[in-house]
C-alpha cells in the first residue's frame, strides 16, 4: 500500500527533508494589504522579513481552502492508495478544518487528517517521523498509532521580542490579559497538545533566549531537537552552540516561514523537541 504524507507550510520543514521523505506541502496564504502570496512559494523568507521589519503594512494569514487541498489529494491519488494529512493545531488555525472538508469530497485515495496539536517544527517532527514510517512500509493503522504516542512527546518552547504581534494575531487567548505586563517582560511560551501556556516571564529578550537554552540543557530525555527563529539568526546560532555542548545530535537551525513570522514577529526564537 502506497502512503503519501501531506502537511502545510507552517511545519517549517527544511527543503532537503521534504524532498528526501517525499512530503507534499500545501502553502498557507500570507497577505500584505491587497497583495496575497502563497507562503514560502511566492514570497521568500528573506523578502518577507524585510517587509515585516519595515512595518508599512502588517501581514495577515489565511488557511488554504478546501479546494486547494482537494486538488492536491486528487493529484496524489494517481500514485497513492492512502494520504495521511498532518497539520498545524486546529486550536490555532483553520487548516485542519479545510483539510477535513476536502477529505470528505475525495473518494480515492482514502484521506486521513491528523491534528498535530503543534506549530512549526513541533508539527514538522511529527510529519518527518510519519514519512519515515511510511517509507519503512508501516501500515496506515500502525503509523496512526505511533503518531498518537508521539504527539504528547513533542513540545515547543519559544520567546518573542515584541508581544504585540501575538496580541494582534489573536491566536493565543491569554495574551490579551497579559499584554500590558508583557510590554516590559518577555514571555517563555510552551506549546503542547494544542495549548500555548505561559511558562515564565523574563526581564529581557536575551535572558529569555538564555533560559530556553538552560531548560533544554537540563533535559535528559531528548530524542530530536531543532532551533527556530524569526529573522534572529545570530541568537539562534548562539543557542545552537550552547546546546551542542550538551547534545551531540544534529540540531538543525530553521528560519520560521512567513505564515509563522506574521504571528510571532521578527526576533522570535525557540526550540522544538521530541522526548524519548
CATH at residue 264? 3.30.1180.10
Output phi, psi for 101, to 5 deg. Answer: -60, -40
Sheet of 195-202: strands edge to edge?
195-202, 186-192, 154-159, 269-275, 222-229, 253-255
pLDDT tens column, 236-251: 999 999 999 988 899 9
Beta-strand pair 195-202/29-32? unpaired
> Does 242 lie in the same domain as 209?
yes
- What is d(CA 104, CA 112) in angstroms, rounded to the nearest whole number? 10
- Out of 113, 134, 152, a domain closes at 152
Domain that holds residue 64: 3-152
Look-up: residue for cell 512549526? Answer: 120
Sign of the alpha-carbon torsion through 36, 189, 50, 226: negative
pLDDT of residue 183: 62
- What is d(CA 221, CA 119) in angstroms, rounded to the nearest whole number? 21
pLDDT of residue 157: 98
- Out of 108, 123, 152, a domain closes at 152
pLDDT tens column, 20-78: 999 999 999 999 999 999 998 999 999 999 999 998 788 999 999 999 999 999 999 98
- pTM for the whole thing? 0.94
Amino acid at each position: 500500500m502506497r502512503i503519501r504524507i501531506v502537511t502545510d507550510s507552517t511545519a517549517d520543514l527544511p527543503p532537503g527533508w521534504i524532498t528526501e521523505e517525499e512530503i507534499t506541502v500545501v502553502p498557507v496564504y500570507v497577505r500584505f494589504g491587497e497583495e496575497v502570496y502563497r507562503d514560502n512559494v511566492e514570497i521568500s523568507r528573506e523578502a518577507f522579513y524585510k517587509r515585516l521589519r519595515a512595518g508599512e503594512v502588517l501581514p495577515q494569514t489565511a488557511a488554504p481552502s478546501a479546494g486547494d487541498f482537494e486538488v492536491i489529494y486528487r493529484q496524489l491519488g494517481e500514485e497513492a492508495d492512502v494520504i495521511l494529512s498532518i497539520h498545524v493545531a486546529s486550536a490555532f488555525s483553520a487548516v485542519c478544518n479545510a483539510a477535513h472538508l476536502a477529505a470528505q469530497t475525495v473518494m480515492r485515495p482514502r484521506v486521513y487528517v491528523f491534528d498535530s496539536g503543534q506549530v512549526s517544527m513541533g508539527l514538522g517532527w511529527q510529519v518527518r517521523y510519519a514519512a519515515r514510517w511510511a517509507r519503512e512500509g508501516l501500515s496506515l493503522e500502525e503509523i496512526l498509532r505511533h503518531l498518537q504516542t508521539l504527539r504528547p512527546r513533542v513540545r515547543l518552547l519559544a520567546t518573542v521580542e515584541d508581544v504585540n504581534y501575538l496580541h494582534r494575531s489573536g491566536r493565543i487567548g491569554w495574551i490579551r490579559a497579559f499584554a500590558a505586563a508583557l510590554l516590559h517582560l518577555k514571555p517563555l511560551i510552551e506549546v503542547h497538545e494544542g495549548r500555548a501556556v505561559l511558562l515564565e516571564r523574563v526581564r529581557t529578550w536575551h535572558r529569555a533566549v538564555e533560559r530556553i537554552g538552560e531548560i533544554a540543557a537540563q533535559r535528559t530525555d531528548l530524542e530530536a531537537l531543532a532551533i527556530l527563529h524569526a529573522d534572529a539568526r545570530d541568537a539562534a546560532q548562539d543557542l545552537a552552540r550552547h546546546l551542542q555542548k550538551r547534545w551531540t545530535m544534529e540540531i538543525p537551525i530553521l528560519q520560521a516561514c512567513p505564515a509563522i513570522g506574521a504571528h510571532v514577529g521578527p526576533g522570535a526564537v525557540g526550540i522544538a523537541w521530541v522526548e524519548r
